[in-house]
């Protein structure tokens, strides 16, 4: 089963960025552990700070992969383009957030992605990605 994790802007700084909210592990370290633990999945990873690159990647993988785990980060709250890309592809998209955005500033409460995603997992730290991955097991 082929799955990709797509991370949006500033998530390349995990481990350094606002560690009280996002924790002190880099995504790269976490990703290695995840790949080892779930080695029967083929898991790819892509990160970009650029909206159009995220849209290009969703289009590229979205007709052949079995699932997309998407943390669009700040673009969650702003991007009609990413939402339209999620709607356009066939692969199921699970929206993920490290923090519980509903308990944070009001501008983080709305997501353009949630209405077109298969599901939403948030608030469990990096474990949110693992829970999203587990949703593909059945
Ligand atoms: C985030 C939440 C977003 O509001 C924020 O802009 C991020 C990370 C999260 O994973 O908690 O960059 O998507």
Q: Please write the tens of the pLDDT for every residue from 49-108.
A: 999 999 999 999 999 999 999 999 999 999 999 999 999 999 999 999 999 999 999 999
Q: Taking the mean position of all CA atoms in its chain, how far away is CA 68?
A: 8
| Residue of 74, 79, 110, 126 to test ligand 1 pocket, by largest number of atoms within 8 Å of CB | 74
pLDDT of residue 64: 98
Q: Which domains does the chain have, with CATH numbers?
A: 2-137 (3.40.50.9100)
Q: What is the pTM of this model?
A: 0.97
- Return the closest-CA partner of residue 66 out of 83, 42, 33: 42
pLDDT greater than 90 at residue 138: no
Q: How far is the CA of 74 from the centre of ligand 1 (A)?
A: 6
Q: What is the pLDDT of residue 45?
A: 98
Compute the distance from residue 98 Cα to the ligand 1 centre, in Å.
7
> 86-119 burial by CB neighbour count: b if 16+ within 10 A, else e?
beebebbbbbbbbbebeeeeeebeebbbeebbee
Q: How far apart are the first and last CA of the chain?
A: 11
Ligand 1 pocket: which of 13, 15, 51, 71 to mutate (most atoms <8 Å of CB)?
Answer: 71
Tokens coding 33: 């552990």
Q: Whose CA is nearest to atom 3 of ligand 1?
A: 73
**Averaged pLDDT, 111-138:** 96
7-64, pLDDT tens digit by residue? Answer: 999 999 999 989 989 988 999 999 999 999 999 999 999 999 999 999 999 999 999 9
At residue 39, the pLDDT reads 95
């Amino acid at each position: 089963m082929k799955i990709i994790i797509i991370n949006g802007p500033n998530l390349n700084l995990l481990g350094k960025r606002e560690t009280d909210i996002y924790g002190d592990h880099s995504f790269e370290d976490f990703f290695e552990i995840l790949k080892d633990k779930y080695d029967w999945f083929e898991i790819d990873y892509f990160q970009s700070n650029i909206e159009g690159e995220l849209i290009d990647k969703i289009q590229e993988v979205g007709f052949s992969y079995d699932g997309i785990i998407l943390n669009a980060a700040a673009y969650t709250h702003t991007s009609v383009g990413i939402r339209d890309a999620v709607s356009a592809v066939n692969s199921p998209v699970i929206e993920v957030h490290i923090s519980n955005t509903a308990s944070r500033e009001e501008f983080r409460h709305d997501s353009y992605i949630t209405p077109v995603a298969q599901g939403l997992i948030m608030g469990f730290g990096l474990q949110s990605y693992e829970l999203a991955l587990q949703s593909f097991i059945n």
